[in-house]
Structure 1
């Protein structure tokens, strides 16, 4: 499985060489994530950000606008 992710990381870096700056940055970030996955036992980086939940006030008063 490690080789699979290493290959994906390299493909993303290859594509980034020919991409516009915005896409290049995203592809290089993707390659970095694949590199992390390719190392068994490696840290997965920072945990995902918590999802934003709407305030309960929006749901507490049904029927009012």
Structure 2
């Protein structure tokens, strides 16, 4: 999938070379977004915060209410 997005980014840059200034800017922005998607998922997303476990005193007891 990374190669797919990288190819789309390059294609957008190629089109931008022949486009008017407004379209060129839009195509280059699009290429930048495709480049971001082409990077491995681990490098673009922060890890979620670690889960915390409740204190063990909540679970200790006879199990009756």
Task: Identify whether the pair has TM-score above 0.5, normalized to the shorter chain.
Answer: yes
Normalising by structure 1, what TM-score? 0.64
Runs of at least 5 residues in structure 1 that lack an aligned partner in the other structure: 45-65
Runs of at least 5 residues in structure 2 that lack an aligned partner in the other structure: 46-65
How many residue pairs were aligned?
44
When Rg is computed on C-alpha atoms for both structures, the one with the higher figure is 2
Q: Which runs of 4+ in 1 moved over 6 A?
A: none
Question: Is 1:6–1:35's contact at 8 Å kept on the other side of the alignment?
Answer: yes
Normalising by structure 2, what TM-score? 0.64
Identify, as 1 or 2, the structure richer in helix.
2
Aligned residues: CA RMSD: 1.2
